[in-house]
């Protein structure tokens, strides 16, 4: 038997291995196996295909072992991986890297030990080699990382190579399982004392040992007569130590056992709650059911605070009752934090949550729980589509318009909304997308009849939509009514809301204190040494930071170019707004929600809980706060600078600006009286504002679609973006021109570029882009992707350009 195995490497194919006879009865597709790849390296791979050897006479390496008793995923998920690979033009290995938790993607460590036949002659060793030898005499074997720490050097290969040549060491490769179950000790009564009559003797046995008596009393207080008690819990309750417990074990009163425990275990003491739908929600739910009779995908277009979540809950309850499972996708971890609290009140232990803030060990346990079918509904961001669901019946995609569903950073550059629709197709499941501001692609599909379409036009409980007003920054500045970065109208309204005990949200889509620091004397700005971007000033740690590569340096009082003490800070971000609000309204508690304040696992939850419990009066944030968060006491939303969103050089800029401003406006006045929204802008006559003031999505859509059709942009075509990178500027320019000329000669497809993007130097690499437009037909998609593979393969084999890095982004969503 032969197994084709996927490896966690950017390889274009699966590799074949022989299945030893001893494993043939147990092995199946979707299992993890240990294989040797290359001369020495060992990897944990996934079995992709199994077939009889037949007349295949290839000499194949054998599979070394099975790493799990059961399969990690089913055949449907391998089909899904294949679709991701084909559609997004990446390798299956890259899909595997992106899909699996890190603890599943194993590669071997090089280990060293003292050669058993080495004559102990230390005279041949230098100082560093002697340190390594001393460590090996104590620890028997060392990894490369441990050697680096011992000699305090980053590069140690030359040391190990020298010691191998001298016959001092041997080395080998070893695969180490990264997942470790959490182990705890549990205390239970010896079976003899489970009898009530025998229990009466217990306290006589410890009468002369007060500490043992206290521990025994605590054991029964905690309910030890009917369940095992955690040793940690018992010792804490009794205020005793392990030696006291050991005394009771020696008296054969207690038995201590070591067991693996669930890292994700939770207790649910509250009664399950149920939601009753309003007449409008019942009507929408009926329309969704009717749409699902004929279509697999439906779009729920409901204005902000119209009660879409209650409808989702009703649909999920029905799916669970039918014996199937549901996936609830959300664009941000911040949203899952708030939503899980609501859903757990309904679904209790049936619901699980999955996102990148869990550590590697926890993510493995969630994966196994989904694989075993223990969770009937899973809530999470885009990576949740890769979980090993058993029988998926429904996928909810909340805030389906949100760009966070697109994976920008690494391959595969998938869009979770589109991937989820294909995953649902494989499971014969239904998909419901919900939003107040649909993406143009989804709304076009709904209007054409490809998707079902349902509307919710009124807010839940009859609350009026917020009143939206523009304030003119230029006029305020001219009339000297601009206080720092705020108009008098906005500040007056903030004061009014604080007086009425209402909360305020201020939105600025730029984190940090200031995006621009320069020298007043020589006009030299502070720029990143790795990227062609300005460094952002973060006041909380006095650092200048690049938001592209992570480089940082301290802010100094003098200019590094002219050495004059003339550094000035210009512009503002969320950190500066937070500081100014605290200065202007000292009686208010001001909080901030952005990537800087929410780095820790529980930071999102703490900030949102504090705001929901009205411990924070003013919340300043980036686009995280625009996305479906539900707070009952918000009376005012201030969009501090709308112009930044309107000035982007991207055909989606108007769509993004409309979505962000409408979404953040929807946070105001959700349960009480009508809320208010102030939008500060230097361009109050911009054509987009009448549509935002009236919340006129349809009018905005029709106006913008005319522009899209005129210039040939989605949804009237599809796009693929090719990004080329190299350290040599001349070479990258030549390679880009070569690829463009080759494309225009060989293929009758529209190519724009090559061009240098707005940020054309990132992480010491020069960047050039080419944009391909092609038809949405099956033939057009197939021909275009085949042509791209062909031309990029030619680029790789070209002697001069083979070092150029080429990245493909299908359906770019910037």
For residue 90, give the 3-state DSSP assignment: coil
Answer yes or no: is pLDDT of 40 > 90.
no
Q: How far apart, in whole angstroms, are the C-alpha atoms of residue 724 and residue 732?
A: 7
225-275: pLDDT as tens digits: 778 899 998 999 999 999 999 999 998 889 999 988 877 776 555 566 667
Q: Residue 693 has what pLDDT?
A: 93
Q: How far apart, in whole angstroms, are the C-alpha atoms of residue 206 and residue 187?
A: 17
Answer yes or no: is pLDDT of 720 > 80.
yes
Round the average pLDDT of the chain to a whole number and report it.
90
Answer yes or no: is pLDDT of 334 > 80.
no
Which tokens belong to 229?
Answer: 């008690």
Q: Residue 650 has what pLDDT?
A: 86
Q: How far apart, in whole angstroms, are the C-alpha atoms of residue 429 and residue 395?
A: 7
55-69: pLDDT as tens digits: 888 899 999 999 998
767-805: pLDDT as tens digits: 999 999 988 888 888 888 988 988 998 898 899 999 999
DSSP 417-447: HHHHHHHHHHHT-EEEEEESS--HHHHHHHH
Confidence of residue 590 (pLDDT cuts 50, 70, 90): very high
Answer yes or no: is pLDDT of 601 > 70.
no
The answer, as to whether pTM is greater than 0.85, is yes
Which tokens belong to 294?
Answer: 């004929």
DSSP 117-186: T----GGG--HHHHHHHHHHHHHS-EEHHHHHHHHT-S--HHHHHHHHHTT-EEEEEE-------EEEEE
SS3 content of the chain, % helix, strand, coil (to 5): 40, 25, 40
**Cβ distance 749 to 743 under 8 Å?**
yes
Percent of the chain with pLDDT over 90: 56
Q: How far apart, in whole angstroms, are the C-alpha atoms of residue 714 and residue 662?
A: 22
* β-strand partners of 468: 677
What DSSP character marks residue 525? B
478-534: pLDDT as tens digits: 998 889 889 999 999 999 999 999 999 999 988 888 888 998 889 889 999 999 999
CA dihedral sign, ordered 138, 141, 147, 149? negative
How far, CA to CA in Å, does 84 sit from each of 88, 92, 201, 420, 484?
6, 8, 67, 11, 49
How far, CA to CA in Å, does 373 sit from each of 73, 321, 400?
12, 14, 26
Residue whose structure tokens are 């802008």: 681
Q: How far apart, in whole angstroms, are the C-alpha atoms of residue 82 and residue 95?
A: 8
Interval 345-366 mean pLDDT: 88
417-469: pLDDT as tens digits: 999 999 999 999 999 999 999 999 999 999 999 999 999 988 877 778 889 99
Answer yes or no: is pLDDT of 333 > 60.
yes
Confidence of residue 605 (pLDDT cuts 50, 70, 90): confident
Task: For residue 536, give the H/E element and its range.
Answer: strand 536-538
256-269: pLDDT as tens digits: 999 888 777 765 55
Answer yes or no: is pLDDT of 326 > 80.
yes
Interval 196-209 mean pLDDT: 81
**Cβ distance 68 to 28 under 8 Å?**
no
Query: Which range, 323-327, 482-486, 572-576, has the best average confidence (pLDDT)?
Result: 323-327
Which tokens belong to 147?
Answer: 């050697």
628-639: pLDDT as tens digits: 677 888 899 999
Q: How far apart, in whole angstroms, are the C-alpha atoms of residue 239 and residue 134?
A: 43
What DSSP character marks residue 458? S
* β-strand partners of 44: 34
Q: Which residue has the higher pLDDT, 504 or 110?
A: 504
């Amino acid at each position: 038997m032969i197994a084709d195995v996927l490896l966690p490497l950017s390889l274009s194919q699966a590799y074949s291995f022989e299945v030893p006879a001893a494993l043939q009865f147990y092995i199946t597709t979707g299992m993890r196996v240990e294989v040797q790849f290359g001369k020495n390296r060992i990897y944990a791979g996934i079995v992709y295909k199994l077939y009889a050897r037949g007349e295949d006479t290839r000499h194949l390496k054998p599979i070394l072992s099975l790493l799990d008793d059961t399969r990690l995923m089913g055949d449907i998920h391998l089909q899904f991986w294949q679709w991701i690979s084909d559609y997004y033009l990446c390798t299956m290995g890259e899909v595997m890297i992106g899909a699996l938790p890190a603890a599943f993607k194993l590669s071997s460590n090089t280990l060293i030990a003292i050669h058993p036949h080495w004559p102990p002659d230390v005279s041949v060793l230098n100082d560093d080699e002697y340190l390594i030898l001393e460590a090996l005499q104590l620890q028997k074997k060392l990894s490369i990382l441990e050697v680096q720490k011992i000699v305090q050097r980053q590069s140690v290969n030359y040391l190990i190579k020298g010691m191998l040549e001298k016959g001092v060491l041997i080395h080998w490769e070893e695969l180490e399982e990264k997942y470790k179950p959490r182990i705890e000790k549990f205390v239970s009564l010896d079976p003899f004392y489970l009898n009530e009559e025998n229990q009466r003797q217990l306290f006589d046995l410890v009468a002369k040992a007060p500490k043992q008596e206290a521990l025994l009393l605590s054991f029964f207080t905690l309910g030890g007569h009917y369940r095992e008690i955690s040793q940690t819990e018992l010792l804490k309750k009794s205020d005793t130590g392990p030696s006291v417990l050991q005394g009771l074990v020696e008296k054969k009163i207690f038995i201590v056992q070591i067991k693996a425990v669930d890292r994700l275990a939770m207790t649910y003491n509250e009664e399950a709650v149920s939601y009753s739908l309003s007449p409008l929600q019942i009507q929408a739910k009926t329309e969704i059911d009717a749409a699902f009779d004929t279509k697999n995908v439906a779009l729920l277009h409901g204005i902000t605070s119209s009660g879409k979540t209650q409808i989702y809950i009703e649909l999920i309850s029905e799916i669970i009752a039918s014996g199937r499972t549901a996936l609830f996708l959300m664009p941000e971890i911040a949203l899952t934090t708030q939503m899980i609290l609501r859903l757990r009140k309904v679904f209790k232990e049936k619901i699980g949550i999955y996102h990148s803030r869990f550590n590697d060990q926890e993510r493995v346990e969630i994966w196994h729980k989904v694989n075993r079918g223990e969770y009937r509904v899973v809530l999470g961001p885009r990576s949740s589509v890769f979980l090993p669901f058993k029988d998926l019946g429904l996928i909810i995609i909340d805030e389906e318009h949100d760009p966070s569903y697109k994976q920008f950073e690494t391959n595969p550059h998938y869009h979770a909304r589109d991937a989820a629709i294909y995953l649902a197709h494989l499971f014969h499941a239904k998909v419901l997308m919900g939003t107040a501001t649909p993406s143009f692609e989804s709304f076009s599909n709904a209007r054409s009849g490809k998707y079902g379409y349902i509307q919710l036009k009124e807010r839940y409980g009859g609350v009026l939509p917020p009143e939206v007003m523009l304030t003119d920054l230029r006029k305020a500045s001219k009339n000297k009514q601009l206080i720092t970065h705020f108009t008098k109208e906005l500040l007056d309204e903030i004061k009014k809301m604080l007086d009425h005990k209402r909360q305020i949200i201020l939105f600025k889509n730029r984190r940090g204190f200031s995006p621009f620091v320069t020298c007043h004397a020589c006009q030299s700005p502070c720029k990143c040494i790795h990227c062609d971007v300005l460094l952002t000033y973060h006041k909380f740690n006095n650092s200048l930071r690049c938001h592209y590569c992570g480089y940082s340096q301290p802010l100094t009082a003098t200019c590094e170019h002219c050495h004059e003490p003339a550094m000035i800070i210009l512009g503002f971000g969320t950190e500066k707004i937070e500081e100014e609000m605290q200065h202007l309204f000292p009686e208010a508690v001001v909080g901030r929600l952005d990537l800087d304040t929410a780095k820790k696992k529980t930071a999102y939850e703490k900030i949102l809980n504090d705001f929901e419990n009205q411990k924070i009066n003013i919340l300043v944030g980036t686009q995280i706060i625009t996305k479906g968060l539900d707070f009952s006491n918000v009376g005012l939303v201030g969009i501090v600078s709308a112009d930044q969103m309107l000035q982007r050089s991207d055909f989606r800029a108007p769509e993004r600006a409309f979505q962000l401003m409408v979404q953040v406006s929807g946070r105001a006045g959700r349960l009480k009286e009508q809320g208010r929204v102030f939008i500060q802008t230097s361009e109050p006559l911009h054509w987009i504002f009448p549509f935002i003031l009236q919340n006129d999505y349809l009018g905005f859509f029709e106006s913008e679609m005319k522009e899209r059709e005129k210039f040939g942009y989605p949804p009237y075509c599809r796009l693929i973006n090719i990004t080329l990178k190299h350290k040599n500027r001349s070479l990258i320019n030549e390679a880009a021109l070569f690829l463009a000329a080759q494309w225009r000669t060989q293929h009758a497809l529209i190519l724009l570029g090559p061009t240098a993007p707005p940020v054309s130097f990132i992480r010491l690499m020069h960047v050039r882009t080419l944009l391909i437009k092609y038809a949405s037909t099956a033939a057009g998609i197939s021909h275009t992707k085949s042509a791209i593979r062909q031309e990029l393969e030619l680029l790789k084999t070209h002697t001069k350009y083979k070092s150029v890095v080429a990245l493909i982004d299908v359906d770019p969503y910037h």
